[in-house]
Amino acid sequence: MSYDELLGWLDYFKRRPPGWRSDDRAWKIMQSNGSKGDGTKIFPALASIFRPSGDDPMGNFKGSLMFHKMLSAKGGDKLDL
């Protein structure tokens, strides 16, 4: 997998986390039963769906465990990202 493809997948799962459809479905059922309020507080995965796009994909990657493992690898301190 190329680096660009990895960044694409990281961005995709950041915007569409696994299980968001189930959370959305459950929230809609709760709304139909009279629940009021914000669904993103009950289901955190929904917050990423409604977040505006255009965030820097490298920003989240640089804070990830994988990035820190890359830095600790031999020669990782010379990464130019």
pLDDT of res. 65:
75
Question: Which tokens sit at 30?
Answer: 């709760």
Average pLDDT of the chain is 78
Residue 55's pLDDT band, with cuts at 50, 70 and 90, is low
Residue 17 phi, psi dihedral angles, 5° rounding: -65, 150
Q: Is the pLDDT of residue 33 over 70?
A: yes
> Is 36 among the domain residues?
yes
> Is 10 among the domain residues?
yes
Q: Is the pLDDT of residue 53 over 60?
A: no
Residue 59 structural domain: 3-73
Distance CA 25, CA 49 (A): 13
> Is 34 among the domain residues?
yes
Total domains, the chain: 1
